[in-house]
Structure 1
Amino acid sequence: MDTATVARFEASRNRLASIAYRLLGSAADAEDTVQDAFLRWQAADRDYVEVPEAWLTKIVTNLALDRLRSAKARHERAVGAWMPEPLLDGDPMLGPADTVEQRESVTLAVLTLMERLSPTERAVYVLHEAFAYRHAEIAAILDITVAASQQHLHRARGRITVARTTDIDHGAARRVVEAFIDAATSGRTDRLIALLTDDATGLSDGVGGLAAKLIRYATPQRLATAVRAGFTPSPAKRRLAGGSPSMYAVVVNGCPAVLVTLGDRVLGVAILEMRADKIAGLRSIAAPHRLGRLTAEWQRRDHDAPLVRSW
């Protein structure tokens, strides 16, 4: 390919990756999907491609749907160990964030709820809500009718019902995370429970991401007890981590989060899902394969001072 043809694809890369990430919930799979699309673009007779952006969107969307429908993906999601891959605020893969719908479509809560949808419903929801495609355009991308696209969107909206969240900037995230860490390290469960909604729940992939299935905390009391235990330092935990970690306040997928690091290595992240001014959910992620892109983004940036310099 000539330089101009490569440049045309590269101009669309971030948008294509953002579509694939929302569909797949995995940055690694999204990157692979975009690379597969590049190979298709390379092999295509581009003289017959009237609108490259539309052509590439169709290719990426359908490649992502093929991945969702694969036996491997169905197995991974069925065994109870699947969780969306977190992304650090400012990552171009998060895509557009101009509207409430665009911002909410990339939260881990919504990415998880999209597991309830069929692949086609998922594609219609993402393209319409996050990228403002019209039903006629979606119908052409997915080879369905306009009426079918409208029906898929109606069903998807009915299955993805989340409480509206307030927008979180870095200053607000730091205040939320600071209060959370203070309560978590106080040794008092009641201080943690005071930060939680009455129906708060938690989800974790275990220490080091080693749990065979995700660990669920179904009540505020169980969640608070687990958090207090997890944030209590000990020599054994420091040996497991390889040293004494630091803790930072960050924004991940639009939510305040505690980022735990050792040097420039990210050990884990605890994402706090807010409802009004309380924590309605916590997702703790420590598996290295879920933290690859977040770690790479973290290592490329300058950071604010840690809330906890040596745990």
Structure 2
Amino acid sequence: MTIRMEDVYRQYKPLMFSLAYRMLGSVTEAEDSVQETFLALTQSDIEDIHHMKSYLCKAVTNRCLDTLKSARWKREQYVGEWLPEPLVDDSVSGDPLQAVIREESISYGLLVLLENLSPDERAVYVLRTALGYEYSAIAEMLNKSEAGCRKLYSRAQQKLNGAGDGLQVEAQPERSKRLVEQLIYAMSHADAHALVRLLSQDAVLITDGGGKTRAAIHPIRSDQRVVAFLTGVWRKWENNVSIQIRSINGQTGFVISGEGQPTRVINVVLNSREDRIERLYMMINPEKLKHFSL
């Protein structure tokens, strides 16, 4: 039976995007890597490719590794904190990107933690945990030894466990929805006491403005400082913005918009040991909000 390029694209694009997004933390870069991979595929005789999924995963992974290694300098020069681009679920869209969000719930907290890994560690971790590949297959994809891939995975786990101690990075929609609703209510009523009760004592708020709009350059640490920031910015927002609770990377977050345009996307990570918010990630960089729809 003849294999059609259109069928291959339709079948594998969502999976390839999921892989690239986990690798890069960028919607635009992930889409570019996937498109370049399929463009290169058109130059090949696909009838000769016997394991299409593995072939595409290898191609996308290596493109992502090249991107990560070349982007290191850019991220080191980035103004303020660099955060991954969040994915907001648009359930009415037929875009494969949206299918990835709904079906796989790529935890935003985990994406942030993945930034602690080297490119090779990240590739092994993603291929192993997200796609379920055996070490032998990963070794073939990355042109490394099986033992080397096992060591990379072990190092990745150690780094993630250390960086994410106490964080509930897996999606818990019902729990996060309740806490986000309470957070929005407390913010909109400038209720500092309620905000303190919602946050862990060592809560951290990180904003990403990329030097393109006003944002905190450094993380804001401790519940009291986070509360002071939130109540301060709300006084500037309250008459000019609207808030939508949305599914962001499979968890409940919210989008703040002004004049019909999204201006901030806020995601939360919960504490695994208490019913409080441990991290708030606020995306303000307009370049990273281009793909959002209200």
Instruction: Please report the TM-score for the alignment, with normalisation by the length of structure 1.
Output: 0.81
- Any conservation in 2 of the 1:69–1:119 contact (CA below 8 Å)? yes
Q: Which residue of 2 aligns with 1:288?
A: 286
Q: What displacement does 1:64 show?
A: 0.5
Q: What displacement does 1:19 show?
A: 0.3
**2:228 equivalent to 1:225:** yes
Mapped partners of 2:102, 2:219: distance in 1: 29
**2:267 equivalent to 1:271:** yes
Change (3 A) 1:96 1:123: farther
Q: Which residue of 2 aligns with 1:139?
A: 139
**2:190 equivalent to 1:187:** yes
Mapped partners of 1:61, 1:221: distance in 2: 42
**2:260 equivalent to 1:253:** no
Q: Which residue of 2 aligns with 1:304?
A: none
Q: Which residue of 2 aligns with 1:117?
A: 117
Q: What displacement does 1:257 show?
A: 1.2
- Any conservation in 2 of the 1:81–1:212 contact (CA below 8 Å)? no
5+ residue gaps, structure 2, are 92-97
Q: Which residue of 2 aligns with 1:6?
A: 6
Mapped partners of 1:212, 1:261: distance in 2: 16
Aligned counterpart for 2:72 among listed residues 71, 74, 90: 74
Instruction: Give the partner amino acid of 1:164.
Output: Q
Q: Which residue of 1 aligns with 2:158?
A: 158
Q: What displacement does 1:166 show?
A: 6.3
Change (3 A) 1:87 1:181: same
Q: What displacement does 1:50 show?
A: 1.6
Q: Secondary structure at the match of 2:42?
A: helix
Change (3 A) 1:165 1:46: closer
Mapped partners of 1:54, 1:137: distance in 2: 8
Q: Which residue of 2 aligns with 1:309?
A: none
Q: What displacement does 1:263 show?
A: 5.9
1:165-205 CA distance string (max 9 Å, x none): 56433x55443222112211233422211110121111012
5+ residue gaps, structure 1, are 98-102, 239-243, 299-311
Equivalent pairs: percent with the same residue? 29
Mapped partners of 1:173, 1:65: distance in 2: 33
- Any conservation in 2 of the 1:256–1:273 contact (CA below 8 Å)? no
Root mean square deviation of aligned Cα: 2.5
Mapped partners of 1:3, 1:47: distance in 2: 7
Q: What displacement does 1:20 show?
A: 0.3
Number of residue-to-residue matches in the alignment: 278
Q: What displacement does 1:252 show?
A: 1.1
Mapped partners of 1:181, 1:274: distance in 2: 15
Mapped partners of 2:248, 2:151: distance in 1: 32
